[in-house]
Structures are given as C-alpha cells and as structure tokens.
Amino acid sequence: MNLTFLGTSAGSPTAERNVSSIVLDLRQERGKLWLFDCGETTQMQMQKAKFSLAKLEIIFLTHLHGDHVFGLPGVLTSRSLMQNQSALTLIAPKGIKQLVETVNEISYSWLTYPLNIIELEENGIVFEDNQFQVEAKLLQHRVPCFGYRIIEKDLPANLDIEKLRQDNIPMGSHCDDLKKGKTITLNDGRIIKGSDYLGNINNGRKLAILGDTIACEASIELAKDVDLLVHEATQEHALAEKAIERGHSTTVHAATIAKQANAKRLIMTHISPRYNLNDNDKLVNEAKNVFANTEIAIDFATFRV
C-alpha cells in the first residue's frame, strides 16, 4: 500500500507544486487505485507518475473548492475514451452530482461506464468490503469538508507449513480447516488443533487523509492510532491567525493533531504558494518540535504505509 502525492499546493499551482491530489496505490492488495481529491491537471500528473485511469476504482473528494475538484471533469471524460472501462464510484460532499451533470451537459460530454455517485452530508462509513473500511467525518472548514479514515481489515494468520512438516502432518484439503483454527482428525487417528499451527494475525494498516480544516476533534478521531496521517499545513505557525481565519491549519496544528491522536507518522501537505521547496526544512522542523516523526510531501513523492 503506497501513497503518492500528485499535487501538494494550496489554492493554486506553482512552478514546483500542483494542487491537491493523492493516489492510494492498492494494486498489490486489490488491483486498483483510489484517488483522494482531484485538482486541475490531475490526469496529467497521473500520466507522469505512470498511473492508469483504467485502474481507478473510487475517487474520494474532501470538499468542492476548486483546487480539490477542477481536475475531475477531465479525469472522468478521458476515462470514457478507453474501451470497456469498469464502473467507478465517486464519493464527495453534496453538490458533486450537480457539478458532474452540469459540466457534462454544457460541454456535450458523456461517460461510457457506470458512475456511482455518493453524496456526503453526515459522518459515517462510506465504503466497506472484506478488505477495507472507509469512514468519513465532517471537519471544520469554510465549506462542508470531510476527512477519511481508511482501515485495512486484519489478515488471517498464516499456517506454519514448516511446523506441519516437522510433525509429519500431510498437506491436503484439511489444511483449509487448520488455517481457520479448527480441530481435525487425520486418517491415522491423530487429533490436530489448527490453533497450534497458526502464526500471528497480520494486523491491517490504518491511515487518515484529511481535507482542509482547522484543528478539531474530528481530526483526532479520524487519526487515532493510524500508521500514517496526511494533514494540511497551509501556513507556518507565525501565520496561525491568518490560517484559522481561512479555515486552515499550520505546521504546529498538524503536528499537535498527530501527537494527540497517537499517530505513528505525519505527512504534511497543502502548502501555501508563498513557500517554495527551499522552505521545506523550516516547515518540517517547526512541526518536529511538537511531533518528531513528521515529513512534508512534494509532488510525486511516494510513502509506504
């Protein structure tokens, strides 16, 4: 499970940073990609990072400000130019359906694949299957904005094949029952407990990807005990008053949320255009004074979860 940042700038693109978009690469886990936010030129950034639109399964939008959504029409319609595309799910605050339908209507565009639109108005589970669960919570911004908590479900314990061999237990269909922890009787009369041949349960990974927000309780809840937290850090802390006035966080705010939530790792993004890449060390060091395991994202940076 890898997280690749396609855009890390707040408000408008710069020569060094595109606007908000993040790919959660689940090709190893489920053969698909999930996209979080879709600022302008996202499809170009995907091409540069060698991500195929055909692999998109779900697009999650945190809110409908332009720097998080203006790339969506291009992504949706370009995907229609590919043959035999699978269905796509779009999860976003209320209003996204009107936006998509209006753009398609006035631009005479159409989609050649099923698009399932889920509009968010309240907190809750927005996706769940046998592998993952995604929870959304409303944050505190100038417009309705959500953060997402992505939980990979625990993987079953592996069967200790070497121990089976050491105990002269033959391989066969009964191994499926042993893997489930069941007790079986072999042909030679031996009674074998599956629990004796299981390793440790493989704990699923957890991450939180938050939209634009001031520090709030919902952020802490979404980030509780996660392996990786993605939090906006629009301004340095000297500009805290300006950040809060516009519904944003500073480096110190992001670090404080990570610390309060007991997150293992913080990645800061959504950086004001006033800063260039040479300012990264200053911004990171400011956050590290509160939360040591802090990094800052740049475009095309990939982080292993």
Q: Are residues 243 and 127 in the same domain?
A: yes
| Residue 291 scores a pLDDT above 90 | yes
Task: Tell me the pLDDT tens digit for each residue of 228-264.
Answer: 999 999 999 999 999 999 999 999 999 999 999 999 9
Q: Are residues 189 and 78 in the same domain?
A: no
Q: Are residues 56 and 144 in the same domain?
A: yes
Q: Are residues 224 and 189 in the same domain?
A: no
CATH number, domain with residue 81? 3.60.15.10
Domain span including residue 186? 161-197
Give dist(CA 139, CA 120) in Å, integer. 12
Banded pLDDT at 287 (limits 50, 70, 90): very high
Q: Are residues 182 and 38 in the same domain?
A: no
Q: Are residues 140 and 166 in the same domain?
A: no
Name the residues annotated as catalytic.
Answer: 67
Q: Are residues 171 and 36 in the same domain?
A: no
Q: Are residues 93 and 227 in the same domain?
A: yes
Domain count of the fold of the chain = 2
C-alpha pair distances (Å), 122 with each of 38, 145, 230: 21, 10, 21
Domain boundary among 135, 170, 197: 197
Q: Are residues 35 and 170 in the same domain?
A: no
Q: pLDDT value at position 14?
A: 97
Banded pLDDT at 17 (limits 50, 70, 90): very high
Q: Are residues 147 and 191 in the same domain?
A: no
Q: What's the pTM value of the predicted model, to 2 decimals?
A: 0.89
Q: Are residues 70 and 169 in the same domain?
A: no
| Residue 156 scores a pLDDT above 80 | no
Q: Are residues 149 and 179 in the same domain?
A: no
Q: pLDDT value at position 172?
A: 86
Domain boundary among 147, 174, 197: 197
